[in-house]
């Protein structure tokens, strides 16, 4: 399980996914289908997400298939932005659709 903050045109969102990486082509395709075609993503520790979101994390995780899926954990950009320290973010994953 991966958790990632995705900085998109409308602000940051927090996603849980069963894909192996935040730039997995199948994840990119699913995000594009939801209108997210350009982003900068940072992986965050799943344990930190669980700690911050508690019961909501369990509900979202219970709805997540164990193969090739994703769920938006938090789409309140202000909330996501202030829940995580920028200093703790690792290397970014950049994605921009060609054309």
pTM for the complete prediction? 0.90
- What local confidence, expressed as pLDDT, does residue 64 receive? 64
What is the tens place of the pLDDT at every residue in 35-67?
999 999 999 999 999 999 999 898 888 776 656
Compute the distance between CA of residue 6 and CA of residue 92 in angstroms, rounded to an integer: 10
Domain ranges in the chain?
2-96
Q: What is the 3-state secondary structure (H, E, C) of the chain?
A: CEEEEEEECCEEEEEEECCCCCCCHHHHHHHHHCCCCEEEEEEECHHHHHHHHHHHHHHHHHCCCCCCCEEEEECCHHHHHHHCCHHHCCCCEEEECCC
């Amino acid at each position: 399980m991966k958790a990632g903050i995705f900085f998109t045109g409308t602000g940051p969102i927090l996603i849980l996914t069963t894909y192996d990486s935040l730039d997995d082509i199948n994840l990119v395709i699913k995000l594009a289908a939801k209108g997210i075609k350009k982003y900068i993503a940072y992986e965050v520790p799943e344990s930190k997400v669980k700690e911050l979101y508690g019961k909501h994390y369990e509900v979202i995780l219970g709805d997540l298939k164990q193969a090739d899926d994703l769920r938006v954990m938090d789409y309140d950009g202000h909330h996501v932005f202030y829940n995580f320290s920028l200093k703790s973010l690792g290397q970014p994953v950049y994605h921009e659709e060609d054309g």
